[in-house]
């Protein structure tokens, strides 16, 4: 099997595009075939180099590697349509020569006017085929005169074109309802329908798997294949992705850029698992599947033709499952760039990494995305500033007494490990006749800066005695200062 992902580089990689890429990739890897990345950049006004880079970055992050492509090489290099115009012109001229195409001299302004008039009068706005009947000699003469023209496909007036889709079954289009579509614009640039067919033939694509927004293009493409005397590939149109409200997925539903999910700290493996299930299922119950399982079991037979629902809560849940399954080393490595990004950890700080590795088990079950780890762990990597909503726990005589006493007891400890810290502080609380939950709060706030933190005693062990004592002393000092001012 030879499959391709053929993005138009006009912006970031959309999650729908990522799902298309994934399904193609899975089929290629499963069959031992090839996965090709082809950049469809014929829309010069909207295509950018940055978008090409961004799309490749996102695909690499997802682990969807390609065998042929702009940077990977291959016999069809450059795998960018702007580098392949000669092929499109050759095919277009052949279609013209063989009577499957004709020159259309209508100007864009005329076409627009006629279209608008048709819509106003409730008529079909399709091209009225005016130039279709210009005799060849006349058309040649106009061309020689230098009159600009577009090349249109001569769609048969009779009959039907049937798309045999691997997901939807047979979808039949009446030729009468297909417009004489443009192959080459009057500036010589190829249209999508021409370029895609020429490329899919040339690159020997066996299966075209793409979003069902392209289904209406497929009969046009089939007509080109037939006119060129080529066997078309198999087609599979993937169901549209909708939000939980049933409307097509868009920014209203949250973020649709793959890059957003990367930056928020979703794991590529969770993303792959989630995307795979947007339209496909292994059975009625399995949700967590690693890449190997997907490669081994994916198949178009189990892709639904019904819209697939994008459920953000499910994605968070799934990501949390993957986080919980990671080992400490791996999770620490995954969290590292997020701490670096916030300036909490320097690249190459081995001692910091060691602390992070030890901290990971404390937060593993409290985070859904990697970025969640940052506020939870910040206290381990910088001096604390007491959070607004936690300040009250440092005020008042009772809290000050707790801090003072805790400082003393911690100083006396022989070993500064979680267990010893816990028993010392529990004994202290009991001796003072306080409720543990309440009495630990000032210590927690002093040490971590917040009333919500990873487990306290383990956190203190990680932070070390010296830093804990410093923070407790500082909190006490501040509290005393404020206390005396009030009095
Ligand atoms: N370039 C097209 C797009 O981005 C894809 C075309 C295709 O897969 O046939 O929608």
The number of the ligand 1 atom at minimal distance from the alpha carbon of 217 is 9
pLDDT of 54: 96
Of 81, 196, 219, the residue with max ligand 1 atoms within 8 A of its CB, to mutate for a pocket test, comes to 196
pTM equals 0.93
Overall average pLDDT of the 426-432 stretch: 95
Overall average pLDDT of the 262-276 stretch: 97
CA distance 213 to 346: 46
For residue 252, being part of any structural domain is answered with: no
Q: Is residue 256 packed enough to be buried (19+ CB in 10 Å), middle (13-18) or exposed (0-12)? A: buried
For residue 20, being part of any structural domain is answered with: no
Overall average pLDDT of the 285-304 stretch: 97
CA distance 437 to 366: 19
For residue 305, being part of any structural domain is answered with: yes
Q: 73 forms bridges with which residues in the sheet? A: 69
Residues 232 and 357 occupy one common structural domain: no
For residue 79, being part of any structural domain is answered with: no
Q: How far is the CA of 9 from the centre of ligand 1 (A)?
A: 10
Q: Is residue 41 packed enough to be buried (19+ CB in 10 Å), middle (13-18) or exposed (0-12)? A: buried
pLDDT of 45: 92
Overall average pLDDT of the 334-348 stretch: 96
Residues 294 and 336 occupy one common structural domain: yes
Residues 115 and 211 occupy one common structural domain: yes
Residues 216 and 305 occupy one common structural domain: no
Q: How far is the CA of 256 from the centre of ligand 1 (A)?
A: 17
Overall average pLDDT of the 153-176 stretch: 97
pLDDT of 70: 96
Q: How far is the CA of 193 from the centre of ligand 1 (A)?
A: 10
Q: Does the pLDDT at position 486 exceed 70?
A: no
The number of the ligand 1 atom at minimal distance from the alpha carbon of 7 is 4
Strands 2-5 and 308-309: unpaired
Residue 253's pLDDT band (cuts 50, 70, 90): confident
Residue 432's pLDDT band (cuts 50, 70, 90): very high
Residues 293 and 309 occupy one common structural domain: yes
pLDDT of 196: 98
Alpha-carbon separation of residue 400 from 60, 438, 479 (angstroms): 54, 13, 7
Residues 106 and 231 occupy one common structural domain: yes
The number of the ligand 1 atom at minimal distance from the alpha carbon of 210 is 8
Query: Count of domains in the chain?
Result: 3
The number of the ligand 1 atom at minimal distance from the alpha carbon of 5 is 8
- HEC profile of 75-128: CCCCCEHHHCHHHHHHHHHHHHHCCCEEEECCCHHHHHHHHHHHHHCCCCCCCC
Residue 254's pLDDT band (cuts 50, 70, 90): confident
Q: Does the pLDDT at position 487 exceed 70?
A: no
Overall average pLDDT of the 221-247 stretch: 97
- CATH number at 179 reads 3.40.50.620
- CATH number at 445 reads 1.10.10.350
Q: How far is the CA of 6 from the centre of ligand 1 (A)?
A: 5
Q: How far is the CA of 7 from the centre of ligand 1 (A)?
A: 5
CA 69 to chain centre: 20
151-160, 400-409, 477-486, range with the lowest pLDDT: 477-486
CA distance 43 to 316: 36
Overall average pLDDT of the 331-344 stretch: 97
pLDDT of 55: 97
Of 2, 59, 192, the residue with max ligand 1 atoms within 8 A of its CB, to mutate for a pocket test, comes to 192
Q: Does the pLDDT at position 446 exceed 70?
A: yes
- C-beta separation of 47 from 10 below 8 A: yes
Strands 34-37 and 234-238: unpaired
Residues 291 and 327 occupy one common structural domain: yes
pLDDT of 485: 76
Domain extent, residue 459, equals 388-486
What's the full length of the chain, in residues?
A: 487
- 306 CB neighbour count, 10 Å cutoff: 9
- C-beta separation of 151 from 104 below 8 A: yes
pLDDT in tens, 357-368: 999 999 999 999
Which residue CA neighbors atom 5 of ligand 1 most closely? Answer: 6
Residue 250's pLDDT band (cuts 50, 70, 90): confident
Residue 135's pLDDT band (cuts 50, 70, 90): very high
For residue 325, being part of any structural domain is answered with: yes
Q: How far is the CA of 8 from the centre of ligand 1 (A)?
A: 7
Residues 359 and 417 occupy one common structural domain: no
* Nearest of 468, 469, 472, 471 to residue 459 by alpha carbon: 468
Overall average pLDDT of the 142-153 stretch: 97
- CATH number at 282 reads 1.10.1160.10
Of 2, 7, 21, 163, the residue with max ligand 1 atoms within 8 A of its CB, to mutate for a pocket test, comes to 7
Residue 437's pLDDT band (cuts 50, 70, 90): confident
307 DSSP 8-state letter: P
The answer to whether the Cα torsion of 184, 190, 193, 195 is positive or negative is positive
pLDDT of 202: 97
Is 220 labeled as catalytic in the residue annotation? no
The number of the ligand 1 atom at minimal distance from the alpha carbon of 4 is 8
pLDDT in tens, 58-94: 999 999 999 999 999 899 999 999 999 999 999 999 9
Q: 190 forms bridges with which residues in the sheet? A: 184
* Assigned token pair, 449: 């800066």
Mean residue pLDDT of the chain comes to 96
Among 251, 314, 408, 451, the active-site one is: 251
Overall average pLDDT of the 402-406 stretch: 97
Residues 371 and 432 occupy one common structural domain: no
Overall average pLDDT of the 158-178 stretch: 97
For residue 364, being part of any structural domain is answered with: yes
CA distance 289 to 72: 29
- Give residue ranges with CB within 6 A of ligand 1: 6-8, 40, 196, 210, 214
Residues 150 and 284 occupy one common structural domain: no
CA distance 235 to 237: 7
Which residue CA neighbors atom 6 of ligand 1 most closely? Answer: 6
Of 8, 9, 22, the residue with max ligand 1 atoms within 8 A of its CB, to mutate for a pocket test, comes to 8
């Amino acid at each position: 099997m030879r499959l391709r992902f053929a993005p138009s580089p006009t912006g970031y990689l959309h999650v729908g595009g990522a799902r298309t890429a994934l399904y193609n990739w899975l089929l290629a890897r499963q069959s031992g075939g090839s996965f090709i990345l082809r950049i469809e950049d014929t829309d010069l006004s909207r295509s950018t180099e940055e978008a090409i880079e961004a799309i490749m970055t996102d695909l690499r992050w997802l682990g969807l590697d390609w065998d042929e492509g702009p940077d990977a090489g291959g016999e069809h290099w450059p795998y960018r349509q702007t580098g392949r115009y000669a092929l499109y012109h050759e095919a277009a001229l052949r279609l013209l020569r063989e009577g499957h195409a004709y020159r259309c001299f209508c100007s864009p302004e005329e076409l627009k006017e006629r279209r608008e008039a048709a819509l106003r009068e409730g008529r079909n706005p399709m091209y009225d085929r005016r130039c279709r009947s210009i005799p060849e000699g006349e058309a040649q003469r106009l061309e020689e005169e230098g009159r600009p023209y577009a090349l249109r496909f001569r769609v048969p007036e009779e009959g039907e074109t049937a798309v045999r889709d691997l997901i939807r079954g047979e979808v039949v289009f009446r030729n009468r309802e297909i417009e004489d579509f443009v192959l080459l614009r009057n500036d010589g640039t190829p249209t999508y329908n021409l370029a895609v067919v020429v490329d899919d033939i040339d690159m020997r694509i066996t299966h075209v798997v793409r979003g069902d927004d392209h289904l209406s293009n497929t009969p046009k493409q089939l007509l080109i294949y037939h006119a060129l005397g080529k066997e078309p590939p198999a087609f599979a149109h993937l169901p549209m992705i909708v939000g939980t409200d049933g409307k097509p997925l868009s920014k209203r539903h949250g973020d649709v850029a793959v890059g957003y999910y990367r930056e928020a700290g979703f794991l590529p493996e969770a993303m792959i698992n989630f995307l795979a299930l947007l339209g496909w299922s292994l059975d009625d119950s399995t949700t967590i599947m690693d890449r190997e399982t997907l490669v081994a079991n994916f198949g178009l037979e189990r892709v639904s033709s019904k819209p697939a629902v994008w459920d953000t809560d499910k994605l968070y849940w799934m990501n949390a499952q993957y986080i919980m399954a990671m080992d400490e080393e791996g999770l620490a490595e995954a969290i590292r760039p997020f701490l670096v990004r916030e300036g909490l950890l320097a690249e190459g700080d081995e001692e910091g990494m060691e602390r992070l590795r030890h901290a990971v088990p404390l937060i593993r079950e409290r985070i859904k995305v990697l970025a969640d780890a940052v506020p939870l762990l910040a206290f381990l990597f910088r001096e604390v500033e007491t959070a607004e909503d936690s300040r009250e726990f440092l005020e008042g005589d009772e809290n000050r007494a707790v801090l003072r006493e805790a400082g003393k007891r911690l100083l006396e400890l022989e070993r500064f490990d979680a267990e010893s810290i816990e028993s010392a502080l529990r004994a202290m609380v009991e001796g003072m006749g306080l409720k543990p939950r309440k009495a630990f709060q000032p210590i927690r706030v002093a040490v971590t800066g917040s009333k919500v933190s990873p487990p306290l005693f383990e956190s203190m062990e990680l932070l070390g005695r010296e830093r804990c004592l410093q923070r407790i002393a500082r909190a006490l000092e501040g509290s005393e200062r404020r206390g005396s001012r009030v009095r």
